[in-house]
């Protein structure tokens, strides 16, 4: 490269810097419900990790990440969820295929061996925002579950990445829940940072 020239690179452009890891698709949901005085976030206590976490799990071969997010919410919390699609453009009129709700974020998370794979691997996590239709359970939750207020986040044993995203969502959840996703969310978030 000539002196003084800058080149943008990514880890994928240099095979020696990229180690092949097994990647599993996962889906998680920041599940909110509006109580009379405030929004609260639903969290489980993960049985193996002993931490407060949002609901979520692995995407099965016969489902989309959005379907997995809805299924995992019911299984782990006992509550039904209505996903709020992430900020994405809608499809044009006449487009012949069904649109799947977009996640708010897709992140890669390095994880140790777990009950799905006996070696370290990567979770490609499709992170959704959802609203519970009711604060009450419709089925028995698989894990201990509780609704927590924003001011309680600092006192909980949870992963910092989850706490950071929860803190960024709480101030916007009223507008998020009222939106229809897509273009409306893009307009709402224009010029607004979730940090």
Tell the residue number behind the tokens 């925002």, with chain if given.
129
Given this model, what pLDDT does residue 181 score?
57
Residue 48 confidence (pLDDT): 86
Which DSSP letter does residue 177 get?
H
Q: Which two tokens stand for residue 122?
A: 């990567």
Q: Where are the beta strands (DSSP E) in the chain?
A: 23-34, 39-45, 52-53, 55-58, 81-84, 105-111, 121-132, 145-148
Query: Average pLDDT for consecutive 10-residue bins of the chain (195 residues)?
Result: 41 48 93 96 93 96 96 96 87 92 93 80 94 92 95 96 95 85 53 53
Closest CA to 55 of 35, 79, 38: 79
Q: Which two tokens stand for residue 189?
A: 């978030």
Determine the Cα–Cα distance for residues 159 and 45; give it in Å rounded to an integer.
12
Quick check: 133 and 80 in contact, CB under 8 A?
yes
Confidence at residue 186, expressed as pLDDT on a 0 to 100 scale: 53
- CA–chain centroid gap for 173, Å, is 14
182 and 89 Cβ atoms separated by less than 8 Å: yes
pLDDT reported for residue 87: 82
Q: In whole angstroms, give the CA distance from residue 130 to residue 146.
A: 16
């Amino acid at each position: 490269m000539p002196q003084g020239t800058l080149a943008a690179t990514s880890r994928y452009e240099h095979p020696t810097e990229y180690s092949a890891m097994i990647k599993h698709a996962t889906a998680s949901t920041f599940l909110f419900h509006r109580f009379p005085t405030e929004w609260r976030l639903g969290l489980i206590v993960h049985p193996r990790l002993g931490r407060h976490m949002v609901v979520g799990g692995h995407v099965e071969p016969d489902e989309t990440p959005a379907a997995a997010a809805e299924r995992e919410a019911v299984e782990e919390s006992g509550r039904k969820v209505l996903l709020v699609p992430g900020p994405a453009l809608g499809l044009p009129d006449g487009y012949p295929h069904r649109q799947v709700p977009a996640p708010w974020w897709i992140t890669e998370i390095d994880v140790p061996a777990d009950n799905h794979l006996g070696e370290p691997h990567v979770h490609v996590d499709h992170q959704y925002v959802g609203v519970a239709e009711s604060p009450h359970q419709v089925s028995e939750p698989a894990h201990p579950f509780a609704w927590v207020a924003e001011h309680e986040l600092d006192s909980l044993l949870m992963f910092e990445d989850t706490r950071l995203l929860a803190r960024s969502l709480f101030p916007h959840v009223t507008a998020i829940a009222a939106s229809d996703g897509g273009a409306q969310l893009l307009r709402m978030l224009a010029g607004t940072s979730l940090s």
